[in-house]
Structure 1
Amino acid sequence: MKKSLLDFLRQPAPPDRPALTTSPPPLIVPKTPSRRDFMQKSVLGGLSVGLAFDNVKGPHRVDQELEFTTQRVSRDSKPSDLKITDLRIAHLDKVPFGSPIIKIETNQGLVGWGEVRDGASPNYALMLKSRLLGKNPCNVEQLFKLIKPFGGHGRAAGGVCGVEMALWDLAGKAFNVPVYQMLGGKYRDQVRLYADTPEGKTYDDFAVNMKKRKGQGYTFLKMDFGIGMLAGQKDMLVGADVWDVANQYGNSKQSKVGNYGMTKHPFTRIQVTKKGIDKLVEHVGKVREIVGYDTPLAADHFGHFDVNTAIQIGKAMEPFRLAWLEDLVPWFYTDQWKQISDAIDTPTLTGEDIFLKEEFIKLIDKRAVDMIHPDLASSGGILETKKIGDYAEDAGIPMAMHFAGSPISMMANVHCAAATENFVALEHHGVDVEGWEDIVTGLKPIVDSGFVNVPDKPGLGVELNEEAAKKFLKKGSTWFAPTDVWNTKDSWDREWS
């Protein structure tokens, strides 16, 4: 074989290079390489390897030749042999809410980071461990299909989505590429944020807060206003005295007619009077004066009332050119959303509690909302959220993204936002949380004048800074405690017969 290769190399060469002799001179690279040049160089390279290991006999020769030819190839990971060996949780608190951090370990020392959605139980992720052990995390979509039956709308999806984030982090690290690249590449180098803003006790206080946000570089803001601010005031609300209207979340008090925070909007039968609507108009008008009209201003948290009241409030807000009105009624009332969207000119938006693309598709196909608003930690994780965004894009509908967690989940959002064309802005709830950016390493600063620079490092692009993150550890919980109790699968998971 070697003789025939040498005979090939001794054939007449092009005029611009000398013919090779038995002892070839140093290789001269022509200005314009030809196919023949390439073949001769390739053969020479292979021949040199063969000669170098000519004295090695048996199967070890092949191994040594392979080792030599791939000596500059990174061996940090062998993706095809990567296996999940452990899953643990560290439950952080006040970042700005409770955020369980997922740590997935592998047989090659690579670690993947994910995050259960704010306010959700760590058990939503731990229950998936027995279904992941021994699996290759690089098969992200396959594993997602395996675990997605254990997710649900709202916080119930937190485990599935958090694990999916960690799988992408591992896959990116294994192949040495950022997550956005595995999604098809990026549309933008920076991801725009929109910031929630504390209102303050007076409009002067609120003005100070708003000016602070703009001074920090935020070009998109959001405020809260709703019927809760009218509670207890004379002639503002009809039928509100039997409800705890001032508290629309889990802190609502149980009354004889039910729990306001847990009662779906149409069933409270609360109405807003003309006087009440005028009060809301006055409030939003003052805020708009403070913010100015050059900055987009969105609105959220209106309270629990029916579709008719939603339309009345929506029409009253039209002079202020709000970026959107969010979650006026629950997301699953598709027909009511369409009724509202058709009746008012201000854009409508919902979706932060929807799990998987199918329910978004219903809203999009019916043109029930003007914008969609997935929370990646509920909507199905990175890839599913991109699929949701892509479907909305085809229908001409923009996507904003809800987020309220640690920098781990933020980076999952950032990669998805970078790779999705119709993305508008990502929410950031942790602006005022001291030490928030220190929770991770790898990107400093994370927020740069209201934007996040999309990292080019492998995976999510950040690593947990355990020393800083421990300061946020939830009281009574343990730092990445062993989870062997979750190792054994004890159910038949197939959904069909």
Structure 2
Amino acid sequence: MKIIDVKTFVVGNEWKNWVFVKLYTDEGITGLGEVTGGLQTKPHEAAVHEMKPLFIGKDPRNIGEIYDSMKKGLFLGYSIAMSGIEQACWDILGKSLDVPVWQLLGGKMRPRIRAYANGWYRGPRDPGFFAEAALKVVAKGYTALKFDPFGHAYRFLDREEEKLSLAIVRAVRDAVGDNVDLLIEAHDRFSVSTAVKIGHALAEFNPMFFETPVMSTDIAATIEVARRIPIPVASGERSTSLREIAELVESKAVSIAQPEVLLIGGISMMMKAAAIAEAHESYIAPHNAQSPLCTLVNAHIGAAVPNLLIQECFDDTNTEWTKEILANTAVVKDGYIEIPDTPGLGTDLIEERIVKYPYGDQNFLRLFESGWESRRK
């Protein structure tokens, strides 16, 4: 079997342009992957095509060899495109053997995967709105919610902004009660001193974790905050190497790593990141703010790793059409993702539908602009 062609597809979601890659083989089997870049679109799409000499003509079932070829071809570098191509190869391998990808990764460690909802708070930065929105998500069966209450803060919070942020968290906790986990997102916003102050204030609400309170590429700062506050810190979504995940969890101060499958290097590297975390008695809670395809990819990974804590999911809070562009999407029932049993990743693009949603130059989430929570242009 050989890869004979590759195509890319851009789908314009209102807050992020999704980029998909599809590999074609000489035996008629195709494979799907994702190369969404968040605040960039066209560079990642172009990277797929520029790397064609590194994977066209190769057997997609030799996943490690293709990944190594791409890595060395970029002079030991990394591109998000590598992850999407790697995912597509796993999809082809599973289809060629008529088994789901999770079975190739070692089989199920669990019958289903606990999920937390994100993206549910599109609207005004008001405690009452957040409380009402949270109740709607809990009514869908979710038992864990993540949200950023901090507006467009950057490094510091003034007194009034701090009061409002904590009022939002309090309103959500009062609305959903003590049996729903709250996960507080900070989006790399704060200085160490501000993060420590906020971390102590959040302890009252017993959050599952405080996510990326400081710039997450600053591992030393992340560790310092984790050691100085009474609630767990989670980080690692910006990591592009296994070494960075190792540095984070070997501290023992941070025991929840959040590798992103598109940044860490694909399915194979996610499995290795999970193993590194496990070696340090730590969990992974994979970052997943992309399309429903990435949710499926993470479901296969989460089925197979022993140290999965919880999985991020936007699928039920995106606009309704986002589930219609794929033949199958993840099913969340009673707050848990059902593990798919179809071969490969278990889905495909419905190309006649995605043309309705083209690239948009305003489809970006500007987290330091006032009102970003509304996600309206």
Same fold per TM (> 0.5)? yes
Secondary structure at the residue paired with 2:121? coil
Which position in structure 1 is the counterpart of 2:34? 115
Residues 1:374 and 2:296 aligned together:
no
Q: Deviations over 1:5-60 (max 9, x none)?
A: xxxxxxxxxxxxxxxxxxxxxxxxxxxxxxxxxxxxxxxxxxxxxxxxxxxxxxxx
Paired with 2:9 and 2:49, the residues of 1 have a C-alpha distance of: 11
Q: Which amino acid aligns with 1:134?
A: G
Contact 2:212 2:222 survives alignment (8 Å): no
Which position in structure 1 is the counterpart of 2:325? 439
Residues 1:203 and 2:127 aligned together:
yes
Contact 1:440 1:463 survives alignment (8 Å): yes
Q: For residue 432 of structure 1, report the CA deviation from its aligned partner.
A: 2.9
Contact 1:210 1:290 survives alignment (8 Å): yes
Contact 2:238 2:260 survives alignment (8 Å): yes
Q: Which segments of 5 or more consecutive residues in structure 1 lack a partner in the other structure?
A: 1-81, 229-244, 249-269, 477-497
Q: For residue 280 of structure 1, report the CA deviation from its aligned partner.
A: 3.4
Paired with 2:265 and 2:178, the residues of 1 have a C-alpha distance of: 35
Secondary structure at the residue paired with 1:180? helix
User: 1 or 2 for the larger relative contact order (CA 8 Å, sep ≥6)?
Assistant: 2
Distance change in 2, residues 1:305/1:351 (3 Å)? same
Paired with 2:156 and 2:290, the residues of 1 have a C-alpha distance of: 34
1:460 to 338, 345, 350: 345
Residues 1:425 and 2:332 aligned together:
no
Q: Which segments of 5 or more consecutive residues in structure 2 lack a partner in the other structure?
A: 362-377
Which position in structure 2 is the counterpart of 1:142? 65
Q: For residue 309 of structure 1, report the CA deviation from its aligned partner.
A: 1.5
Q: Deviations over 1:137-157 (max 9, x none)?
A: 00011111221354999xx73
Distance change in 2, residues 1:456/1:279 (3 Å)? closer
Paired with 1:383 and 1:306, the residues of 2 have a C-alpha distance of: 34
Secondary structure at the residue paired with 2:7? strand
Distance change in 2, residues 1:448/1:305 (3 Å)? closer
Contact 2:112 2:337 survives alignment (8 Å): yes
Residues 1:101 and 2:20 aligned together:
yes
Paired with 1:360 and 1:292, the residues of 2 have a C-alpha distance of: 34
Paired with 1:204 and 1:310, the residues of 2 have a C-alpha distance of: 25
Distance change in 2, residues 1:326/1:456 (3 Å)? same
Q: For residue 314 of structure 1, report the CA deviation from its aligned partner.
A: 0.7
Contact 1:200 1:209 survives alignment (8 Å): no
Q: For residue 273 of structure 1, report the CA deviation from its aligned partner.
A: 5.3
Q: TM (normalized to structure 2)?
A: 0.87
Paired with 2:187 and 2:351, the residues of 1 have a C-alpha distance of: 38
Which position in structure 2 is the counterpart of 1:215? 139
Q: Which amino acid aligns with 2:141?
A: G
Q: Deviations over 1:110-141 (max 9, x none)?
A: 00000102424311222221111110000011
Paired with 1:151 and 1:95, the residues of 2 have a C-alpha distance of: 35
1:162 to 84, 90, 115: 84
Paired with 1:451 and 1:468, the residues of 2 have a C-alpha distance of: 28
Distance change in 2, residues 1:336/1:303 (3 Å)? closer
Q: Deviations over 1:344-398 (max 9, x none)?
A: 1111011111113111011111224231111111111111101111221221111
Contact 1:325 1:348 survives alignment (8 Å): yes
Q: Which amino acid aligns with 2:52?
A: K
Which position in structure 2 is the counterpart of 1:407? 292
Paired with 2:234 and 2:50, the residues of 1 have a C-alpha distance of: 33
1:73-472 superposed matches below 5 A: 82-94=1-13, 97-119=16-38, 120=40, 121-149=44-72, 150=74, 157-196=79-118, 197-198=120-121, 200-201=123-124, 202-226=126-150, 228=152, 245=153, 271-272=156-157, 277-301=162-186, 304-430=189-315, 431-442=317-328, 446-472=331-357
Paired with 1:298 and 1:324, the residues of 2 have a C-alpha distance of: 5
RMSD (Å) for aligned C-alpha atoms: 2.3
Q: Which amino acid aligns with 1:469?
A: I
Paired with 1:97 and 1:151, the residues of 2 have a C-alpha distance of: 29
Deviates more, 1:446-455 or 1:100-109: 446-455
Deviates more, 1:170-179 or 1:461-470: 461-470
Q: For residue 278 of structure 1, report the CA deviation from its aligned partner.
A: 4.3
Identical columns (%): 29
Which position in structure 2 is the counterpart of 1:474? 359
Contact 1:91 1:473 survives alignment (8 Å): yes
Secondary structure at the residue paired with 1:162? helix
Q: For residue 95 of structure 1, report the CA deviation from its aligned partner.
A: 6.9
Distance change in 2, residues 1:451/1:278 (3 Å)? same
Q: Which amino acid aligns with 2:322?
A: W
Paired with 1:160 and 1:302, the residues of 2 have a C-alpha distance of: 25
Q: For residue 274 of structure 1, report the CA deviation from its aligned partner.
A: 5.7
Distance change in 2, residues 1:278/1:205 (3 Å)? closer
Secondary structure at the residue paired with 2:23? strand
